[in-house]
């Protein structure tokens, strides 16, 4: 299945790159947008993925029709980083995770603007364009490049979270905000960052990245150390290379 899935995601990437589609922008909520490219990719994948795996269903950000983690499920973000797409920053990705009865078995994150495809199958490691990748070995916050994301849906509740990010900025090697949670997790898996904190995510934001990161030797938990769930809006999350996970948890202790 993996080879066919990668081919489908690459085909979807061609839709994401069409300027005539990405230029058509619709407002979902304050600072939350969808383009015709998002919608076109979503429609394409919802049709093709169920053909790829019989009796499967799809949970997509732009058409969240799946109501259960049971059975064979694709969890899709058609374009993660829509605002980046609108501004042609080249930091947008198609994210697709595949799970059976809630267990993630495969994940693909593809940035069509850089032609970088991050993939993983459970128990088989993580890859970038076919080559194995691993998290970096940064041992402490002072040695780390750290990412963060804090979307508009929880803006009024982000005070303590952003304060801690500001404090951390003075103690680490730098803080980056890419605007794409999927790419954050992929970059972390490839050793390009050491940790990432998220104020919240939805399953389509992190399903594929969770597996890719885990297979690359990293770790994803809730900020308080709990296990993330693939349903609804999450509480704050922490992803890391594993080596600095406990230090990061302690640093953000009590943040909601």
pLDDT tens-digit profile, the chain (256 residues): 899 999 999 999 999 888 666 667 676 666 567 788 888 899 999 999 999 999 999 998 876 555 567 899 999 999 999 999 989 999 999 999 999 999 999 999 999 999 999 999 999 999 999 999 999 999 999 999 999 999 888 888 889 999 999 999 999 999 999 999 999 999 999 999 999 999 999 999 999 999 999 999 999 999 999 999 998 999 999 999 999 999 999 999 988 7
Q: Which two tokens stand for residue 212?
A: 């890719």
Residue 101 burial (C-beta neighbours within 10 Å; 0-12, 13-18, 19+): exposed
- Give bridge partners of residue 121 from the DSSP assignment: 106
CB 107 within 8 A of CB 119: yes
Burial 63-88 (b: 16+ CB within 10 A, else e): eeebeebeebbbbbbbbbbbbbbbee
């Amino acid at each position: 299945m993996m080879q066919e899935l990668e081919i489908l995601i690459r085909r979807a990437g061609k839709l994401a790159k069409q300027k005539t589609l990405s230029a058509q922008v619709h407002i979902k909520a304050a600072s939350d947008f969808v383009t015709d490219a998002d919608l076109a990719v979503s429609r394409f994948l919802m049709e093709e993925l169920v053909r790829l795996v019989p009796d499967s269903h799809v949970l997509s950000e732009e058409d969240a029709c799946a109501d259960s983690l049971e059975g064979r499920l694709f969890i899709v973000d058609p374009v993660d980083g829509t605002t980046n797409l609108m501004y042609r920053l080249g930091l947008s990705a198609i994210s697709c995770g595949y799970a059976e009865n809630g267990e993630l078995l495969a994940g693909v994150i593809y940035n069509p603007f850089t032609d970088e495809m991050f993939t993983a199958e459970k128990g088989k490691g993580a890859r970038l364009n076919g080559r194995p990748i691993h998290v970096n070995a940064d041992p402490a916050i002072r040695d780390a490049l750290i990412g963060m994301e804090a979307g508009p849906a929880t803006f009024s509740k982000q005070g303590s979270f952003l304060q801690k990010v500001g404090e951390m900025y003075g103690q680490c090697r730098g803080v980056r905000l890419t605007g794409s949670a999927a790419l954050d997790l992929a970059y972390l898996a490839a050793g390009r960052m050491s940790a990432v904190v998220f104020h919240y995510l939805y399953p389509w934001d992190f399903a594929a990245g969770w597996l890719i990161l885990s297979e690359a030797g990293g770790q994803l938990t809730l900020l308080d150390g709990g296990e993330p769930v693939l349903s609804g809006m999450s509480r704050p999350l922490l992803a890391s290379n594993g080596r600095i996970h406990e230090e990061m948890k302690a640093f953000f202790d009590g943040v909601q």
